[in-house]
Amino acid sequence: MKRTTTRLADGRELIYYDAADDAGHAVRDSPDRRPLPTVRAAGAEIRHDPLLDERVGYAAHRQTRTYHPPADQCPLCPSRGEQLSEIPADSYQVAVFENRFPSFSGTSGRCEVVCFTSEHDASFASLTEEQAALVLHAWTDRTAELSRLPGVTQVYCFENRGAEIGVTLGHPHGQIYGYPFVTPFTRRALRSVADHKARTGANLYDERLAAERADGRRIVLETAHWTAFVPHAARWPYEVHLYPRRRVPDLIGLGPEEQAEFPGVYLELLRRFDRIFGPEAPPTPYISGWHQAPFGIEAREDFALHLELFTIRRSPGKLKYLAGSESGMGAFVNDVLPEAAADRLREVASR
């Protein structure tokens, strides 16, 4: 695989990823021709809530970000003719660039956009295994690169898919957040893992995975190196967690066999999600993201890398809204039993 790095007109970094080592982009022949001013994340700041001990980011400049442009003005498609986009080349396989409207930037983190393919009407589920492997390579490479930035504490590679989720660009893409702090969900998980280890001497992630495998009712699929299951206490109507069988703290820790097996497993999960509600239903909206260990913390090796995939659709034409209990108190009430969700996800397996 090959990585080619260049700069956009306003100085933001752009990286192309190609499957073949001998592939290349004529960077000098495809400069960004747009008259862009140098990017400034004006007004961005992070404040601390002492009562909840959580940090909240403010990014007022994002109010002007691109919102549902027509397909022929997509900023993530290749630049062709006079239709200029964020990708100055006329073709690409996977491209990553600094977000023009970042939530975090400079010495306080970094935000990047990941374009999974140049095909506007594709989806991650429609990629080939080779293409999915290239995206995994990009996620891993960016995690390693961002880990070396002084303003980054934790890296989250994720995809929001579907207008119901709030996606404003239809092109298949995801994002990478380099947070300047440890996120609230991760802090809570690390605290639980530490408490469990102090009480029992065992790893909570290992015991959770072993318990799901032993129970079996919520296992969605298993391979030699990966296990996908609906958690015993799933919050979302259809929620799947995907773990490597060997505990590693982040994507960088995956070995060659785990990397090679991932594309087939992940594509199968995404394709099952699109079949949950029947052949006539529109594509299933979802959020998918990698939970990785923060950098520079004690007991980092106790954290277990895993991917979380869930949808807010609870039945055909109906969404799971976070209303009073969930939004106001953080107390979830699910409409679908985890065992029923796992049954359905096994029913729609590829034949």
DSSP category for residue 11: S
By residue range, what is the domain housing residue 250? 200-279+303-347
| pLDDT band at residue 25 using 50, 70 and 90 as cut-offs | low
Q: What is the pLDDT of residues 26-65, one digit of tens each?
A: 454 688 999 988 766 555 789 999 999 999 888 876 655 6
Is 98 part of a structural domain of the chain?
Answer: no
Please give the DSSP secondary-structure letter assigned to residue 54: E
Strands (E) located in 19-132: 45-49, 54-58, 94-98, 110-115
Q: Is the pLDDT of residue 210 over 90?
A: yes
**pLDDT score for 39:** 63
Would residue 135 count as lying in a domain? no
How far are the Cα atoms of 161, 239, 268, 319, 334 from residue 274, in angstroms, in the given order? 11, 13, 10, 15, 20
Dihedral over alpha carbons 34, 38, 39, 41 (to 10 degrees)? -150
Average pLDDT over every residue of 312-330: 92
**Average pLDDT of span 126-146:** 98
Query: Is residue 225, in this structure, part of any structural domain at all?
Result: yes
CATH number at residue 313: 3.30.428.10
List C-alpha distances in Å: 288 to 176, 210, 266, 326. 12, 23, 10, 20
Q: What is the pLDDT of residues 171-207, one digit of tens each?
A: 999 999 999 999 999 999 999 999 999 999 999 999 9
The answer to the question of residue 53 being in a domain is no
pLDDT in tens, 257-302: 999 999 999 999 999 999 999 999 999 999 999 999 999 998 899 9
Per the domain annotation, does 120 fall within a domain?
A: no
pLDDT higher for 136 or 36? Answer: 136
Q: For residue 202, what are the β-bridge partners?
A: none
With a cut of 70, say whether residue 72 has pLDDT above it: yes
Point out the residues that are catalytic: 173
Is 100 part of a structural domain of the chain? no
Q: Is 250 left (phi over 0), alpha (psi -120 to 50) or beta?
A: beta
Among the listed residues 86, 111, 76, the one whose alpha carbon sits nearest the alpha carbon of residue 6: 86
Residue 334 has pLDDT above 70, yes or no: yes
Residue 25 region by backbone torsions, left for phi larger than 0, else alpha for psi between -120 and 50, else beta: beta
Number of domains in the chain: 1
Tokens of residue 278, six digits: 């029947």
Quick check: is 51 in a domain? no
Phi then psi for residue 134, to 5 deg, are -70, -40
Give domain status of residue 33, yes or no. Answer: no
